[in-house]
Amino acid sequence: MPHKITLTGSATGPLREYDRYVAFDMREKGSPSAPKGLKKSTFISYTVFVAKKAFNKTGLTKKSIMHEKILIQGEPTLDIPIDECPGEVGVICFQITVLPNKNDKEKNESGAKKEPKQEASAPSQVQKNTEPTKQEETQAPVSQPAEKEEKKSVETVQSEAKETPIQEKKAAPSKKELPNQPKGTQDLVNFDEIVVPEAFLKTRPNPEKTERVIEFVKRTGRLDEPLTIEKGSNVLKDGYRRYVVAKTVKLDKVPVVYEYEK
């Protein structure tokens, strides 16, 4: 019967891409509770094989996989060729999960604790500032013209305080507009970063429509519509014809619209 295996850690080597799957190396320390008289087991190296579809859903990239802590659940295999499996044990992954970073958790918890303290200390500072003013009023009598001037200054300060939020709202940054790009474009993405599913690769766009889009790009220097890709994984969802056109005319960057994973 096959045995299930669970691994945690980060990749120790670069991500290797194949036709339908990706592979990377990990290592874990053996059991620390070895029987007396036996040496403690050393690190065991694993080579993990993950389907591209499952890997793309995690949002991991070639760079981030070296730093993120991940959880792998799968089964060991002996059917992988040696040149594709440099680790001591090959693992076919059934599920891959990105684990939260401890440093991020500590920062969020410490930030949540500090905010109530700052709010609690605010009234005490206001009280300290108001106490000297009351003492000054009792010590020195103020003439009527001075009182009027003080009332005016208070009114101006209050009016300025009311106006500042409106000014802040007006100064809020608007959505960035990308010049010389089709309507609805949300971002520009490097062409090489777009992942095309096999279902698209098996199709062939209409040559006449494709030629029309190529002429449009040569005339205007841009695509007629943005591509639709999945946020995070950059998997192509719609616009394979425009992808082919961008590849034909060798565009470095292409306009995209994001589709968020449900």
Q: 111-129, pLDDT tens digit by residue?
A: 666 555 554 444 455 454 5
Cross-strand pairs, 51: 21
Average pLDDT value for residue range 128-151: 51
Domain boundaries, the chain: 5-31+41-102, 187-259
Residue with tokens 């009332």: 151
CATH of 187-259, picked from 3.90.1530.10, 3.30.530.20, 3.40.50.150, 3.40.50.360, is 3.90.1530.10
Instruction: State how far the Cα of 155 lies from the Cα of 153, in Å rounded to an integer.
Output: 5
Sign of CA dihedral 124, 125, 130, 135: positive
If you average pLDDT over residues 84-92, what whole number do you get? 85
pLDDT computed for residue 28 by the predictor: 78
pLDDT of res. 88: 84
- Closest by alpha carbon to 252, among 216, 215, 220, 223? 223
pLDDT in tens, 214-240: 999 999 888 999 999 999 899 999 999
Which of the pair, 10 or 170, is modelled with greater confidence? 10
Q: Which residue has the higher pLDDT, 135 or 111?
A: 111
What one-letter code names the amino acid at 207? P
For residue 99, pLDDT over 80 is answered with yes
Domains 5-31+41-102 and 187-259 share a fold: no
pLDDT score for 202:
87
State how far the Cα of 109 lies from the Cα of 192, in Å rounded to an integer: 39
**CA–CA gap between residue 199 and residue 148 (Å, rounded):** 79
Which CATH number fits the domain 5-31+41-102, given the four candidates 2.40.50.140, 2.60.40.2550, 2.60.40.10, 1.10.10.10?
2.40.50.140
Query: What is the per-residue pLDDT for 181?
Result: 86
Where b means 16+ CB within 10 Å and e means fewer, 118-157 reads eeeeeeeeeeeeeeeeeeeeeeeeeeeeeeeeeeeeeeee
